[in-house]
Structures are given as C-alpha cells and as structure tokens.
Copies of this chain bind each other. A is one copy, B any other.
C-alpha cells in the first residue's frame, strides 16, 4: 500500500526540510512513483501535510500514554528521568517527533491555525498526563513543591531538550540535560515550600 509509504516518506522529508522545503516530486521520488500519483491518495499537498501531522499527533500522544502507564509505579526520580531518555530516543529513532518539533516553529502560514491547534492539544494532554503522576508524588511526600508548578517546570525542561535535539549537538544536549535536570530535581525536592 503506497498510501502509507507516501505518508512515511512525506513525514521524513517534512521533518527535515519543512513544508515549503519539500516538494511533491521529492516525496514521489523516494516512494518510487511520479508526483501526479500522489493525487490518487491525497487531495493535494496541504491534505498530505495535515494527514501526516494528524498521524504524528495521535501516535505521539499514544506513546506518551503508554510510557506513563508502564512507568507510573516507579519513583518520581526515575519516572521523570527515564521519560526524558525516552523522549530523546524517540527523537533519534523516529521521524514523528522530529517532524513535530520542527514544523511547529514555522508552519506554512495558511495552515498555521490548524497546526497550532494540534500542537496545543498535544502539550496540554501530555502536561496533564504527567501532572497526575506528579500529583501522586506530592501526596506521598516525594516532592514538596506545588504539583502544578512542578509539572510546568518539567514541561519547560522537555522543551529545552527539544531545542537542543533540533540544534543537533549530542554532546551539548547531554551536558545541558544533565545540568538542567540536576537543578530541576534539587528545586522540586526543596524543603521550603515557597509560595508562588
């Protein structure tokens, strides 16, 4: 089924070169068909792009849910740390996350609203997933800070890792992650429960 193949190759190229930087000819070339044949399966370039976006959205949410489900019982420490490792691994082994992080910063203008809608849904849903686990940690006294604040701070930490991954330096990413994580963990387990 070349319907799937087209989406797969489109995802790959979009994740590297973005919407305008990727032509239908390029995609078709990788699939091994002519660009006109793409129109058998998709209404046009916009349609293909949105389909790819949607797929990536659904899949990424699913993977996050699975992770949280399978690691919920671990200590918050390893739960959060391994989720970061999981995030990094996914970025390297899968085009979806790459597509996701890269295309949301400069989406094609005429599709901006649609892209942003999916993006916000993604962030909110993921944040909520993690908030549950963090709330749990707060209740058991594992952390002392307001769970909502901790959740947001962790979300910011994930954002920063995303940036580093995009910029490409593996050494840089590791170094920054190590430092940011260290400070983050000290912060959320701080004894003085300061008010915000």
**Chain A residues packing against B (C-beta within 8 Å):** 16-21, 101-106, 108-109, 116, 119-120, 123, 145, 148-153, 155-157, 159-164, 166-169, 172, 175-180, 182-188, 190, 192, 194, 196
Contacts and interface: CB of A to CB of B under 8 A. Distances in A.
B160 A119 contact: no
Determine chain A's interface SS by DSSP, over half rule. Answer: helix
A186 B196 CA distance: 12
Contact of A156 (B160, B169, B192): B160
Given A18-B20, A157-B160, A104 B186 contact: no
B187 A185 contact: yes
B184 A183 contact: yes
Contacts of A192: 186
Contacts of A188: 183, 186-187
